[in-house]
Each structure stands twice: as C-alpha cells, then as structure tokens.
Amino acid sequence: MTWTRSTSKVIGSAALLAVVAATAACGTGESGASATDTPPGISVSGVGEIQGTPDTLTAQIGVETTADDVTTAIDEANTAVTAVTEAIAAAGVDRADIQTRQVSIDPQYADGFGGGTSTISGYRASNILGVTVRDLSRASAVLGDATRAGGNATRVSGVSFRIDDDSDLIADARSRAFADARDRAEQYASLAGSDLGKVLSITENITGQESAPSFDRSSVSSAVPIEPGQQTVSVSVNVQWALG
C-alpha cells in the first residue's frame, strides 16, 4: 500500500467534493499480459471536517514616520517602535514572541516644478514587528496598548487566529475522512456485485482555515474587541481498494 500526504493552509472555506472512479482490468498488450495482471479496483474520495477554537493570535504591529531628513525619520521611528515594543511586553506577551520583521528607510520625492526633475522632499522610516499572542484573553489589550503607545505612527496588519496544536483535530478529521471514503467504496462495490478488498493506496490533503478579524484604529481608546470564533480543520483522502 502506498501513502501520500500533502498539507496546506488556506484562508476561507473550500468545498471538497467526493469523486468516485472505478478502475477496470486492462486488456492484453504486445507482451501478451492477461487481464488478471491488473486486478479490478475502485478509487474513492472522502472528507472529514471538525471545528476547534483558536488559541493563538498573530499580527504585524509597527510604526511609520516621515521627516525632512533621514536622521529625524529614523530617530522618530526608533522611539515609536520602542514604545510599542514595551507596551506589547507589558501587556503580557513574551519577548521571544516579539520579532522584528522589517526595517526600511525610503526617500520621498516631490514633482519638479513645470515638469522639472523630481527632488527628495523627505524620508519615510518604518519598523514592523511580528507578534504572537498565545493567551487570547490578553489579545485585545495587546492591540489597544500597542496602538496607543505608537500613536498616529502605529500600523497594524495581518491580524489572524490559529490553533497552535491541531494534531488531535487532524487525527479526528482523518478518521472521519477515511470512514467516509470506506462507506462510499462499500456502496459502489455492492452496486458492482463485488466485495471490497485490501487498500492499495491512500492520498491525503489537509487544510486549516485561518480567520482574519478586522481592526479599526478608532477603537484604540479602549481594548480592541476580539472574537476568535471557530476554525475548521478538514482532511480529504483518496483511497484505492482492490475489488474481490
């Protein structure tokens, strides 16, 4: 029996359709092989889904500043991101879960008067942190405190929920998917007047859904409301059986 597995993470829901295909014995070729060389079989897809409650939030929280000269832009960004970092840590996030993801400094240009050459009018500096909140009871405070600490320079993006350890959910969904495929295969074998034999191969695909809540900076006067909701873990399998 062969086993193949592919794993992917997707945002949103996807409809997984069970596809059934029966394979028949091949005819003889130039080598004189008989039809019994390729036993009849049936290939059936099954799907198993189960929901779980997210326990982890991830987000990109950073700052962006502009100034007439590069030194001032950098200094203001450094001051703001330091304040944001301290606020995140004070809200209960382990510093190991706060990581610098991007630092950039870019010149800003003004159009030349009367079609002349563009000139540098200032500089934009940004510093983006990747933040993982493992205690969702602190997530609202983390986002709110970080945004207040950085003020108008704060930028928040990529907020999403996930299940940190979904191994038990995957195992449950896998059992459901295989049972679904077997039920279908037994029905088709019966309709074909045959018995279901041994498993010849299994192909598996796992998908998990991440939810991305909206974030409104107008709500920073208090803790940002956060609702993790539910996430679906789905396993689809394609199983090939021999027919007796």
In the predicted structure, residue 15 carries a pLDDT above the cut 70: no
- pLDDT, residue 32, reads 43
Domain positions in the chain? 2-51+165-212+232-243, 56-162
**pLDDT tens figures, 33-42:** 444 566 689 9
pLDDT digits (tens, 9 = 90+) for 109-123: 987 665 667 889 999
User: Which range is least confidently modeled, 10-24, 106-120, 173-187?
Assistant: 10-24
Tell how many helices (H) and how many strands (E) occur in the chain. 3, 9
Phi, then psi, of 166 in degrees rounded to 5: -105, 20
179-211: burial string, b at 16+ Cβ within 10 Å, e else: ebbbebbeebbeeeeeebbebbebbbbbbbbeb
Superfamily (CATH) of domain 2-51+165-212+232-243: Protein of unknown function (DUF541), domain 1 (3.30.110.170)
Q: Cα(210)–Cα(227) distance, rounded to whole angstroms?
A: 13
Tens of pLDDT, residue by residue over 64-108, are 999 999 999 999 999 999 999 999 999 999 999 999 999 999 999
Cβ atoms of residues 40 and 220 within 8 Å:
no
pLDDT given at position 148:
95
Return d(Cα 107, Cα 120) in angstroms, integer.
Answer: 6
Res 57: pLDDT: 96
| DSSP 3-state of 147 | helix
Tell me: pLDDT of 10 over 50: no
Other C-beta atoms lying within 10 Å of the C-beta of residue 12: 8
**Picking from 125-139, 147-161, 223-237, which range would have the lowest pLDDT averaged per residue?**
223-237
Across residues 215-234, what is the average pLDDT?
69
Task: Give the predicted TM-score (pTM) of the model.
Answer: 0.68
Can you read off the two tokens belonging to residue 241? 């059986």
pLDDT, mean of residues 203-230? 68
Q: Nearest 5°: phi and psi at 36?
A: -75, -10
- 56-162 is classed CATH 3.30.70.2970: yes
d(CA 196, CA 242): 6
Per-chain mean pLDDT for the chain: 83
Q: What per-residue string of b and e applies to 49-60 under the rule 16 or more CB within 10 Å gives b?
A: bbebebbbbbbe
Q: Is residue 40 within 8 Å of residue 236, measured between CB atoms? A: no
Say what angle helices 70-90 and 139-150 make with each other, to 10 degrees: 150
